[in-house]
């Protein structure tokens, strides 16, 4: 019997080497601990960085039904002469490399109970239970690999006696394995009666046992092995994902969805996107607008109004960090306003991190426009700033545009005799109104459609605005510094509910998109006037357009397809050729998606927000387009 000192290795002591000292005896515990340290580090690497399973190009420990009664084969997957390195069945189990060099029947294992006294003796010698027979009644049986290690001494293996000296050499540790079966879906775990401390387990297959049928056919076996384990080269990450391995491993440059999902989306005529998610789902009436901004600290902020507080409409805001989009938007959202009803917020982000939000308070003839300025967390406590509160006048539907030090608040005025759009300018640096007497008329053209307005700032510090007149769609260029209005013209006459959208590009172009009685329309402004632009792939049921410019100068157009509501569609205009690409789906055609609004984040990613009422009251949802940025 081998006399071996008690093991001294404890991984939690974090010893990584054994160092010899002069004049100090070497004992067996020192050498054994050195071996245990090396083995533990290799095992930890295999377990945590490779995992359980069969390596690529290997088919070891495959369970195969052959039609035999209550039996199956444990196949080595070896053809030709066995080579311990290159040609042998292998399986990693809990960081242990297990080998099988020849196919063996389940019942032919030395520990199988069908071998009677021989199995009893073998179990006693190894100190493990016998292998129980494959259950014969119907149901599913798990086949799993049991791995353990044990000490082998010269008493068992005479070759360990040194021939030249005629004395014992060192003992050896041997890795043993057995294939066992049990009911259930997982191998034994702590607390199970068949769990043995120090043993490691991994599933190999499941066998469907048919009632009153002893034979195990090939179709009864389901392979459960993890297969094709492989550590890929760093160049694979660079070739497939276009980012360096160091960046990818650090969590940067990783695709928001799998390549498989992206390819499948394209094949079914849709755009690759992240899964849809709610900004803050509730049973209340959440009304979407065009108030979504990117802040200066790497986040997206959504503002909307909802009756979730005692049935009274109030303005709410929530933020999502772009550094961890998996957490979604903050919940519960911040309630920006209180008291009487507040509607239709529109906000812009300021360079210092503040948010300037304007909104309508009250309804009907007594509606007013107010605004607040503060960081997101301080909006609710910020003082209200009066934009327009004339008695007996309905001042509603504000829209904010910032150019330099000026914030221009556009709003709709309705009285018994006047219906028109107005503006009022506020200086950011001083907090004072440039138009101290109150709002000023933006255009002499009357407009009764308070909800139909959009504006966009241009690269030269101008603001383009579009609104619906009584029967026309009007567009103009506004200079905030002087208050001058230029290039006012009609885009289309006799259009019903145009739902306009303006996009100014980095090259200085201005695009207008709107809905007419015959579908979507587009026009582009260049020096000299507006030019009608074709929109191929759109239909008469398309409405609610919005657009953004991507990092390459391409224009992405989004809209709703359908009657009262429908699915969201998108297409891109190539900046080089000036042609529109294929129309693709953005949401499922479930009849509940509308009012899309798109936003380009600081990293170039395009996010789309829209309204869904498939569960009753509408909620605001969002997703990210997976595009080249």
- pLDDT tens per residue across span 485-516: 999 999 876 666 678 999 999 999 999 999 88
Question: In angstroms, how far is CA 626 from the centroid of its own chain?
Answer: 10
> Is it the case that residue 629 has pLDDT exceeding 60?
no
Place of tokens 């259950």: 135
Give 581: exposed, middle or buried? Use CB within 10 Å, 0-12, 13-18, 19+.
middle
Q: Return d(Cα 514, Cα 535) in angstroms, integer.
A: 11
* 405's tokens: 């030090």
Q: Please tell me the predicted confidence (pLDDT) of residue 318.
A: 97
Q: Please tell me the predicted confidence (pLDDT) of residue 2.
A: 72
DSSP for 515-565 reads: EETTEEEEEEEETTEEEEE--TT--TTEEEEEEEE-TTSPEEEEEEEESSS
- 3-class secondary-structure state, position 293: strand
pLDDT tens, 290-325?
999 999 999 999 999 999 999 999 999 999 999 889
Positions of E strands within 76-163:
89-93, 96-100, 104-105, 139-152, 161-162
> What's the rounded mean pLDDT across residues 417-435?
96
Q: Please tell me the predicted confidence (pLDDT) of residue 591.
A: 63
Confidence of residue 79 (pLDDT cuts 50, 70, 90): confident
For 264, residues 6+ apart whose C-beta sits below 8 A from its C-beta are none
More confident residue, 34 or 517: 34
Note whether 314 and 334 are within 8 A (CB).
no
Which DSSP letter does residue 326 get? G
Q: Please tell me the predicted confidence (pLDDT) of residue 263.
A: 86
CA-based end-to-end distance of the chain: 69
> What's the rounded mean pLDDT across residues 258-277?
88
> Is it the case that residue 152 has pLDDT exceeding 80?
yes
Q: Please tell me the predicted confidence (pLDDT) of residue 493.
A: 67
> What's the rounded mean pLDDT across residues 227-234?
90
Mean of the per-residue pLDDT values for the chain? 92
Q: Please tell me the predicted confidence (pLDDT) of residue 363.
A: 87
195: number of Cβ within 10 Å: 12
Note whether 597 and 544 are within 8 A (CB).
no
> Is it the case that residue 580 has pLDDT exceeding 90?
yes
Question: In angstroms, how far is CA 161 from the centroid of its own chain?
Answer: 62
> Is it the case that residue 590 has pLDDT exceeding 80?
no
Q: Return d(Cα 345, Cα 602) in angstroms, integer.
A: 23
Confidence of residue 565 (pLDDT cuts 50, 70, 90): low
Considering the chain, what percentage of its residues have pLDDT values greater than 70?
98
Residue 324's nearest CA partner among 247, 275, 252 is 252
* φ, ψ for residue 364, nearest 5 deg: 70, -150
User: How would you classify the pairing of strands 472-479 and 463-468?
Assistant: antiparallel
More confident residue, 251 or 118: 118
> Is it the case that residue 397 has pLDDT exceeding 70?
yes
For 186, residues 6+ apart whose C-beta sits below 8 A from its C-beta are 142, 203
> Is it the case that residue 465 has pLDDT exceeding 80?
yes
Q: Return d(Cα 466, Cα 476) in angstroms, integer.
A: 7
Which of 182-186, 375-379, 560-564, 624-628 is the least confident region?
560-564
Q: Please tell me the predicted confidence (pLDDT) of residue 496.
A: 62
> What's the rounded mean pLDDT across residues 135-139?
87
> Is it the case that residue 93 has pLDDT exceeding 90?
yes
533-538's contacts with Cβ under 8 Å and 24+ in sequence apart are 534/580, 535/580, 536/580, 537/571, 537/580, 537/582, 537/583, 538/583
Q: Return d(Cα 625, Cα 623) in angstroms, integer.
A: 7
Note whether 497 and 515 are within 8 A (CB).
yes
Q: Please tell me the predicted confidence (pLDDT) of residue 330.
A: 94
Handedness of CA 39, 44, 45, 47 (dihedral sign): positive
Which DSSP letter does residue 131 get? B
Give 495: exposed, middle or buried? Use CB within 10 Å, 0-12, 13-18, 19+.
buried
Note whether 545 and 515 are within 8 A (CB).
yes
More confident residue, 609 or 495: 609
> What's the rounded mean pLDDT across residues 41-50?
95
**333 torsion bin: left (phi>0), alpha (psi -120 to 50), beta (else):** beta
């Amino acid at each position: 019997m081998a006399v071996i000192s008690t093991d001294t290795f404890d991984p939690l002591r974090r010893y990584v080497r054994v160092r010899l000292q002069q004049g100090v005896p070497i004992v067996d515990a020192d050498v054994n601990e050195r071996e245990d340290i090396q083995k533990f580090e290799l095992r930890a690497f295999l377990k945590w960085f490779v995992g359980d399973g069969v390596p690529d190009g290997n088919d070891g420990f495959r369970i195969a039904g052959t039609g035999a009664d209550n039996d199956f084969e444990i196949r080595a997957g070896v053809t030709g002469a066995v080579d311990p390195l290159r040609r042998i069945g292998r399986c990693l189990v809990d960081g242990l490399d297990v080998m099988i060099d020849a196919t063996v029947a389940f019942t032919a294992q030395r520990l199988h109970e069908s071998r009677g006294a021989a199995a009893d003796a073998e179990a006693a010698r190894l100190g493990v239970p016998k292998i129980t027979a494959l259950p014969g009644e119907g149901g599913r049986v798990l086949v799993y690999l049991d791995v353990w290690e044990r000490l082998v001494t010269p008493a068992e293996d005479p070759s360990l006696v040194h021939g030249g000296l005629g004395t014992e050499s060192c003992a050896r540790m041997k890795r043993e394995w057995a294939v066992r079966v049990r009911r259930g879906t997982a191998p034994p775990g702590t607390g199970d009666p068949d769990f043995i401390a120090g043993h490691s387990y991994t599933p190999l297959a499941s066998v469907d046992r048919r009632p009153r049928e002893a034979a195990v056919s090939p179709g009864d076996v389901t392979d459960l092995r993890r297969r094709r384990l492989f550590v890929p080269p760093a160049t694979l990450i660079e070739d497939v994902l276009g980012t360096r391995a160091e960046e990818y491993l650090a969590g940067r440059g990783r695709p928001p969805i799998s390549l498989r999902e992206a390819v499948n989306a394209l094949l079914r005529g849709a755009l690759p996107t992240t899964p849809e998610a709610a900004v803050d789902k509730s049973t209340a009436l959440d009304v979407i607008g065009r108030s979504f901004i990117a802040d200066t600290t790497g986040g997206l902020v959504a503002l909307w109004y909802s009756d979730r507080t005692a049935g009274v409409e109030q303005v709410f805001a929530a933020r999502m960090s772009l550094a961890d989009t998996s957490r979604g938007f903050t919940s519960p959202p911040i309630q920006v306003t209180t008291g009487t009803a507040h509607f239709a917020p529109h906000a812009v982000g300021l360079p210092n991190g503040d948010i300037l939000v304007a909104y309508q308070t009250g309804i009907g003839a007594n509606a007013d426009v107010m605004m607040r300025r503060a960081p997101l967390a301080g909006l609710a406590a910020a003082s209200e700033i009066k934009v327009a509160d004339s008695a007996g006048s309905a001042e509603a539907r504000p829209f904010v545009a910032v150019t330099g030090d000026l914030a221009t608040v556009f709003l709709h005025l309705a009285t018994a005799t006047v219906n028109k759009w107005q503006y009022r300018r506020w200086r950011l640096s001083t907090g004072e109104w440039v138009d101290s007497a109150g709002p000023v008329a933006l255009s002499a053209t009357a407009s009764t459609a308070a909800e139909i307005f959009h504006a966009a700032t241009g690269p030269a510090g101008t603001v383009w605005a579009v609104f619906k007149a009584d029967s026309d769609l009007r567009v103009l260029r506004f200079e905030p510094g002087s208050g001058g209005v230029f290039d006012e013209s009609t885009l289309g006459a006799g259009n019903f509910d145009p739902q306009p959208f303006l996009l100014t590009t980095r090259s200085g172009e201005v695009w207008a998109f709107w809905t007419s009685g015959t579908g979507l329309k587009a026009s582009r402004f260049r020096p000299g006037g507006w030019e009608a632009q074709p929109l191929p792939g759109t239909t008469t049921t398309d409405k609610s357009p919005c657009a953004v410019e991507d990092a390459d100068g391409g224009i992405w157009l989004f809209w709703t397809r359908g009657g009262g509501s429908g699915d969201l569609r998108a297409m891109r205009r190539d900046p080089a050729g000036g042609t529109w690409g294929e129309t693709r789906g953005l949401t499922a055609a479930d009849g509940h998606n509308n009012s899309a609004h798109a936003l380009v984040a600081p990293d170039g990613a395009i996010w789309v927000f829209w309204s869904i009422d498939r569960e009753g009251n509408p909620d605001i949802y969002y997703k990210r387009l997976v595009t080249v940025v």
